[in-house]
Structure formats: structure tokens, C-alpha cells
Chains A and B, each alone.
Chain A
């Protein structure tokens, strides 16, 4: 897949994933990887940026195995941002789809 496509949608997928339930990094990477085949490393910078922009909150929770995990939680601003992104995405992909369907090959 075109990496430019991935990059744009990745944010939406991450936000949607965390909206369902709070997740820690590795879990989130696995979740996202189900949808988009993405370099695992690139999700962490995205998480960092979204945290810096106050769409995510983080907290530590003890795990049964290994050190405590950092969980990501979507804030109210994050939910709004997620809704906006979803709307943009659906409108965008509808228009693109419509355009693609309307094309008649002569």
C-alpha cells in the first residue's frame, strides 16, 4: 500500500482503537497492525504527538508480567478530534469513491 495513505489514516485508526478501551503501546501496535500494515516504530512517535497535543492521557498500571505498562486513554478533546477525523475521512473516501465510480472509460 502507498505509505502516504497509511500515514494519513493511521492517526484515525489509533484514535478509534484507544476510544474502545485504554491500551498500552504494544497492544495498540498489534491492534493497528491488524488493520494497516505499518512499521511498528512509527506508532510510538504518533502516540507521543497525540499525547503532547492532549488527545491522550497516559497512566501506569501494574502488569502480571514484567514492568508496569503505560496505558493510553482518550481525552474529551481526543474524542472530539477523533469524531472530526472520522467525519473527514468518510466524506473524503465517499467523494473519492464517487469520483472513481463516475469515471467512464471511453
Chain B
């Protein structure tokens, strides 16, 4: 064993010692070896005289009152384990990275699907307030269809009066009035249904709005009362403190209550007018739309008998 190997080996055994002590001892041995070499011995011979490195290390450790067996246990068990552990750690790191990648992918897909769901929800929610408008559009479509039918009927009657072959045409066109009547009845029924649906929808909407506004109003009034009461008690506590009563804690609590209820009141108040104004605007719009619809319905219903009559 040459000098460097010897010192390395010894250093491994002395790893438990403070690094300063290690360098101190290793310095002594390296100096000793150097001296021997300068006296004409080879490195091999110089280190051979020290005997077994582990025994030597055990003796050195004994000088520090360190149990040499502990170091042996360490070197036997733990040092190889460090290499193993690094390998295992690398493996674990790789698996963790893979898991994280997988998770992120899953998260992306799940997030995308949730986003889609939310979008769909929003679309459906957004479509609810415009339901009357949609219905209105549909009614318009139906109306135009009805007018077309009407026009057809008018044409048919004209042809009937103009044509001399009345019987043949009658036999040909006789099913038309019945079908038209049935159709008109069907359409009127549909309109009725639609109207009732709109009515129920509006009723529900109004009820919810009213309940919500009433609730907000109630809450804000309640919180205002709370604020006032707590402010009063707070002032009372301050006067009591000035009179020398030990009510500092209560005063602090009251101050907190004042702040809490005050801020809550402000919160509610900021909510209430905003909601109310918005609601009013919406309601006005709705009202206009409803009026238009109702007018159109009236026109429609007015047309219906004519059509029937024409038919």
C-alpha cells in the first residue's frame, strides 16, 4: 500500500472525527512516512510497519474515547447504503417526475373538461334570460308560416272563384281548409302554451328577485341596527373606561363588532342598489319585450279568426 492509499484508507476510518483532528492525525502519519522514506525506506515498507489500518484506526479512535465498533458498523452498513440510496433516490426522482408529468397531463385534461362544462353551464345560464326573446323569435317564425298558409288559402279561394271546374278543384282542395283549421288550432294551442310558460317563467323570476332583494334589505337593515347598537355599547364602554372600570377587553370586542358590522353593512349596501338598479333596467326591458309580445299575440289572435273565416 502506498502513502496516498494508506492515508485515504485511514481517513475513511476516521470519518467520525472532526475534520481538523483528521487532518492533524493524517498530517502526523504522512510526515512520519516522509521521514521514513527520506531514511531510505520505500513507501510500501513505511506503511507496512503501521500494521493493519483498521486496528490502527481503532487505536486512534480509542484515544478520543470513540467506540471503534461504531465506525465499523457505519463503514460496513451505511457507506455502501449511500451509493444504493443515491441510486434509489435517482430512481425515485425519475418516478416522481413521471408521476408529476402524468398528473399535470391529467390535470390539463380534467381542467379542460371542467372549463368546457363551465362554459356550457354559462351558455345555458345565459340562454335562460333570453328565453322569452327566443320564444318571441319562434313565434315570429310561426307567424310568418301562418301568413304563408293564409296566402295559400287566399290563392286557393281565388282560384276557386276564378275556375269554372269548381267541383274538381273542390274535390282536390277540400282537405285544405280542414288541415288549415287543425293547423291553426294547433298553432293557437302552441301559442297559449308558450304564453303560459313565459308567464310562469316571469312569475318565478320576479318571485326570486323579490325574495333576494327583500333578503338583502333585511340583512342590511339588521347589520345597520347591529352597527348602531355596537357603536352605542362601544361609546358606553369608553365612558366606563374613563370612569375607571376594567372593561378594556369588552371595549376592544365592541370595537371589533362595530368594524365588522359596519363593513358588512357597507358590503350589503353596495350590493343592494347595484342589484336593484340592474333589476329595474332588466325589468323595464322585459316589460317592453312583454308588451311587444303581447301586442303581437293580440295581432295574431286577431288574425286567426280571419284566417279561419277565410278558410
Q: Mark B24-41, 1 if CB is under 8 A from A, else 0.
A: 010111011011101000
Residues of chain A at interface, number, CB under 8 A: 19
Considering the complex, give the chain A residue whose CB is closest to the CB of B32.
A26
Q: Which residue of B lies closest to A69 (CB)?
A: B31
- Residue B122, interface by CB 8 Å: no
Known contacts A39-B50, A52-B64, A65-B38: A44-B31 contact under CB 8 Å? no
Stretch of B55-63, B77-85, B111-119, B129-137 at the chain-chain interface = B55-63
Select the residue from A26, A41, A47 with max chain B CB neighbours within 10 A.
Answer: A41
Q: In the complex, how many residues of chain B place their beta carbon closer than 8 angstroms to a beta carbon of chain A?
A: 19
Partner of A44, one of B28, B38, B49: B28
* Docked pose: A31 CA to B307 CA in angstroms: 139
Residues of B within 8 A of A52 (CB): 63-64
- Cβ A48 vs Cβ B63 within 8 A: yes
Q: Which residue of B lies closest to A7 (CB)?
A: B59
Q: Is the CB of B50 within 8 A of A41?
A: yes
- The reply to whether B60 and A44 contact each other, CB–CB distance below 8 Å, is yes
Show 22 residue pairs from A and B whose CB-CB distance is below 8 angstroms, ordered by the A residue: A25-B28, A26-B31, A26-B35, A29-B32, A39-B50, A39-B51, A41-B29, A41-B50, A41-B56, A41-B59, A42-B56, A44-B25, A44-B28, A44-B29, A45-B56, A45-B60, A45-B63, A48-B63, A49-B62, A49-B64, A52-B63, A66-B34
Interface residues of B (CB under 8 A from A): 25, 27-29, 31-32, 34-36, 38, 49-51, 56, 59-60, 62-64
Known contacts A25-B28, A40-B49, A66-B35; 8 further A-B pairs (Cβ under 8 A):
A39-B56, A41-B51, A42-B56, A48-B63, A49-B63, A49-B64, A65-B38, A66-B34
